């Protein structure tokens, strides 16, 4: 008769949330797609912010009076967020969808049988990375953009009312997009499907809403995820929109609901 060797729990290595987070961080930083996609987001944020600011300043004398009245120097320098959100969201989908595509998810879930710590770790790690990089990129885009506008004395300052909220809000909004991307990747489990859904939510829904009668559009558009979340980027509240922080709270609710749906699907479905 053989005797089984009992290995203490400490020696076996207990699966903890902290260890899962560390594992997901190693995965994220070791992927080549992470570097290139986040670099694209940073370049889009800063590069487009500078270009929009520069060309707006150059053609300022030819702008119609209505555009001059609506001019927001802060928003112009942050215009790169529109392209950056696509890069950030796509990488969020790939963080989970990529593992399903390669079959690596089976090994991941075998190592963490409870499953949900994997989703929380992926969401947390990527959200922190996205928030840090996009906040720095947003601040840089603002400074570069205001420098381009200063030649025509159109610039604003970082301590002007509403400007800090807009600059920091760009990083917060892009972090929310990152979390929605992670949730869609886990929920749909297909990279192409997750990216298509993300684009539909961020880009297609606002366009479809414009086909509604104006009274319906004003009532519906304010509650769309992109409209609600992007309110933080406007120094002055736009007509027929929610207050900036109210809209962002709604945007966060959308992200949390998507993560909750992904968690339920992850628990109930096979890998």
For residue 60, give the DSSP letter: G
The structure's pTM equals: 0.91
Structural domain contains residue 1: no
Whether 2 is covered by a domain: the verdict is: no
CA-CA-CA-CA torsion for 210, 215, 218, 219, nearest 10 degrees? -110
Cα gap 170→84, rounded to integer Å: 10
CA distance 45 to 40: 8
Kindly state the DSSP code that residue 61 receives in the 8-state scheme.
G
- Domain total in the chain: 1
Residue 177: inside a domain, yes or no? yes
- Integer Cα distance of 23 and 18 in angstroms: 9
Q: Which domain holds residue 45?
A: 16-268
Domain annotation covers residue 31: yes
Distance, CA of 243 to CA of 124 (rounded, Å): 27
DSSP conformational letter for 8? P
With CA atoms as reference, report the closest residue to 166 among 74, 262, 37. 74
pLDDT on residue 7: 33
Whether 34 is covered by a domain: the verdict is yes
Residues whose CB falls within 8 Å of the CB of residue 87, separated by 6 or more in sequence, listed in order: 37, 38, 40, 41, 44
> What is the reported pLDDT for 19?
93
Residue pLDDT tens, the chain, 271 long? 333 333 343 444 688 999 999 999 999 998 888 999 999 999 999 999 999 999 999 888 888 888 888 889 999 999 999 999 999 999 999 999 989 988 888 998 888 888 899 999 999 999 999 999 999 999 999 999 999 999 888 899 999 999 999 999 999 999 999 999 999 999 999 999 999 999 999 999 999 999 889 889 988 999 999 999 999 999 988 888 999 999 999 999 999 999 999 999 998 887 6
Task: Give tens-digit pLDDT for 26-55.
Answer: 999 988 889 999 999 999 999 999 999 999
- Residue 4, domain member (yes or no): no
- Whether 38 is covered by a domain: the verdict is yes
- What pLDDT is recorded for position 268? 87
Give the CA distances from residue 211 to residues 129, 205, 214, 215, 229, in Å, rounded to whole numbers and listed in that order. 37, 10, 9, 11, 21
pLDDT digits (tens, 9 = 90+) for 155-192: 999 999 999 999 999 999 999 999 999 999 999 999 99
Query: 15 and 111 in contact (C-beta within 8 Å)?
Result: yes
**Domain-embedded: residue 9:** no
Report the distance separating Cα 158 and Cα 143, nearest Å. 8
Closest CA to 24 of 102, 92, 103, 87: 92
């Amino acid at each position: 008769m053989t005797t089984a060797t009992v290995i203490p729990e400490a020696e076996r290595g207990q699966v903890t949330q902290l260890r899962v987070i560390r594992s997901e961080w190693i995965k994220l930083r070791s992927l080549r797609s992470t570097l290139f996609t986040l670099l694209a987001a940073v370049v889009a944020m800063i590069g487009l912010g500078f270009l929009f600011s520069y060309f707006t300043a150059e053609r300022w004398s030819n702008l119609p009076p209505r555009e001059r009245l609506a001019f927001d120097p802060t928003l112009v320098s942050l215009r790169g967020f529109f392209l950056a959100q696509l890069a950030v969201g796509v990488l969020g989908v790939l963080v989970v969808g990529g593992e399903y595509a390669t079959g690596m998810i089976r090994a991941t879930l075998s190592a963490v049988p409870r499953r949900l710590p994997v989703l929380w770790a992926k969401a947390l790690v990527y959200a922190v990375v996205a928030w840090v990089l996009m906040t720095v990129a947003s601040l840089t885009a603002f400074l570069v953009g205001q420098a381009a506008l200063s030649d025509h004395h159109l610039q604003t300052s970082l301590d002007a009312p509403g400007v800090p909220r807009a600059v920091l809000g760009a990083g917060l909004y892009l972090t929310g997009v990152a979390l929605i991307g992670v949730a869609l990747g886990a929920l749909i489990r297909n990279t192409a499907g997750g990216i298509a859904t993300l684009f539909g939510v961020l880009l297609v829904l606002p366009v479809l809403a414009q086909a509604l009668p104006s009274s319906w559009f004003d009532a519906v558009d304010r509650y769309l995820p992109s409209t609600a979340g992007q309110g933080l980027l406007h120094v002055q509240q736009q007509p027929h929109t929610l207050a900036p922080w109210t809209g962002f709270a709604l945007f966060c609710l959308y992200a949390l609901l998507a993560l909750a749906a992904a968690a339920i699907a992850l628990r109930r479905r096979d890998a």
